[in-house]
């Protein structure tokens, strides 16, 4: 590498599971975009972190307290407009990360929509409008999980044996649609028995086994994930990693 220092990438999310899928997919896309990294571990070239490199991520729920401790506040409009949902919190988060030493090279903002697509507008307001005439000193990648993280996982599900095939066909018939290509039609409702509950559908198909879930996003081809994930925000996230994050690694090689 031209610079031996690994890239520092801050990850802001709601839970460790969101961090895992976002980082795994980012690594896969980067490996596919940077020829010299194809098939290699990215461990020497990047570190995913929170406010410090000793943290693996920053939870959204901890942002307000951390900012209060440092007396950091987020005020104002966004290009003359009021902030949509998550705009103020995202701006506060980016201000908080700006105060880190060393500052990150890039930030991943990962959010479940819970059916509220205005969160996308809010994140983009914060990303594009720090203050009039200014820009953030790091790259910002937005990952919007619509409606839940489980919808991204379902995009990569394919039956691996006759038992799973039978189970998949049963779930598909029950829903009236393919949960892989229409995952955005699933809901974020909390009632565990709602047939369209995204968590329930994934749990049924994977038997609640973490390793089986992980195989969905680690083994499915990226082009399959993009094609199936157009409405879930997954395709957009993969494209942002490809166009915003991967170039940082190309510059470092």
Contact indicator for 123, 144 with CB cutoff of 8 Å: yes
Map out the domains of the chain as residue ranges.
1-146+233-253, 148-229
Q: Per CATH, is 1-146+233-253 categorized as 3.40.50?
A: yes
Q: What is the model's pLDDT at position 134? A: 82
Q: Tell me: the pLDDT tens digits for 114-162?
A: 989 999 999 999 999 998 778 999 999 999 999 999 999 999 999 999 9
Average pLDDT value for residue range 217-243: 98
Q: What is the mean pLDDT of residues 56-72?
A: 97
Mean pLDDT of the region 51-63 = 97
pLDDT of residue 193: 77
Res 1: pLDDT: 47
pLDDT level of residue 71 (50, 70, 90 thresholds)? very high
In whole numbers, what is the pLDDT of the chain averaged over residues?
95
Q: What pLDDT does residue 90 have?
A: 97
CB count within 10 Å of CB 9 equals 21
Q: pLDDT per residue over 181-212, tens digit each?
A: 999 999 977 676 789 999 999 999 999 999 99
* Residue-level pLDDT at 55: 97
**pTM of structure:** 0.96
Residue 131: what pLDDT? 80
pLDDT of residue 21 exceeding 60, the answer is: yes
Q: What is the mean pLDDT of residues 27-47?
A: 95
Statement: residue 60 has pLDDT above 90: yes
The pLDDT of residue 190? 67
């Amino acid at each position: 590498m031209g610079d031996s220092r690994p890239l520092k990438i801050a990850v802001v999310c709601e839970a460790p599971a969101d961090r895992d899928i976002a980082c795994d997919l980012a690594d896969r896309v980067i490996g596919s975009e940077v020829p010299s990294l194809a098939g290699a571990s990215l461990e020497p070239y990047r570190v995913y972190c929170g406010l410090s490199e000793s943290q693996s991520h920053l939870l959204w729920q901890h942002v307000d307290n951390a900012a209060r401790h440092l007396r950091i506040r987020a005020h104002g409009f966004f290009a003359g407009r009021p902030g949509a949902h998550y705009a103020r919190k995202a701006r506060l988060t980016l201000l908080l990360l700006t105060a880190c030493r060393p500052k990150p090279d890039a930030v991943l903002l990962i959010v479940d929509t819970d059916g509220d697509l205005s969160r996308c507008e809010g994140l983009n307001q914060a990303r594009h409008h720090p203050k009039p005439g200014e820009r953030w000193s790091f790259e910002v990648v937005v990952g919007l999980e619509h409606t839940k993280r489980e919808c991204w996982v379902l995009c990569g599900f394919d039956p691996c044996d006759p038992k799973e095939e039978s189970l998949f066909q049963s779930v598909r018939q029950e829903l009236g649609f393919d949960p892989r290509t229409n995952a955005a039609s699933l809901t974020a409702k909390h009632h565990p028995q709602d047939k369209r509950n995204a968590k329930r559908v994934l749990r049924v198909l994977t038997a609640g086994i973490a390793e089986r879930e992980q195989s969905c996003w680690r083994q499915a081809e990226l082009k399959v994930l993009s094609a199936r994930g157009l409405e879930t925000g997954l395709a957009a996230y993969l494209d942002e990693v490809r166009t915003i994050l991967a170039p940082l690694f190309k510059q470092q090689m």
